[in-house]
Amino acid sequence: MSMMSFSLIGASELPTAAAAFEAEILQQASRLAPWQERKVARHIREHLDQPISVHDLAGLVGLSASYFSRRFRGSFGVAPRAYVIRSRLERAQSLMRQSRTPLCAIALDCGFCDQAHMSRLFHTVIGSTPSRWRRQQALA
């Protein structure tokens, strides 16, 4: 290959590398700072049994609700509400595995309005009803 070939190859790769670098910078800029991620995740984990609003979470880290929501999605890959629901369902699964506590009590302990609310979301996200899932876990 001639020198002309090398320079053309190098020049054609430069925009691609620059675009990838720029995309990475933009992705990092659309995330919460690591301390904000930790603070918000800890707050959600510790307050699952209580109502959790986007405004409350945004206030924890000093951001507006809309800006916080965009940054949260960049950090966690889902909207804040979806993250809270998923966290509540994971806690419910853990409680169902560890005890024979009635589902209505588990629902309230995990921050759901009632057992029906938990069951609807559980079926939507997990793909099974809580009682069926609990029975399957007992057999496994």
Domain layout of the chain by residue ranges: 1-30, 33-140
| Whether CATH 1.10.3720.10 fits 33-140 | no
Q: Mean per-residue pLDDT for 42-56?
A: 96
What's the pLDDT at 24? Answer: 59
> Does the pLDDT value for residue 84 go beyond 70?
yes
Distance separating the N- and C-terminal Cα atoms of the chain: 63
Residue 88 to residues 3, 29, 62, 92, 108, Cα–Cα distance (Å): 61, 28, 24, 6, 10
Residue 92 pLDDT greater than 70, yes or no: yes
**The one-letter amino acid at 54:** V
pTM score, whole prediction: 0.78
pLDDT at residue 102 is higher than 70: yes
CB atoms within 10 A of CB 62: 8
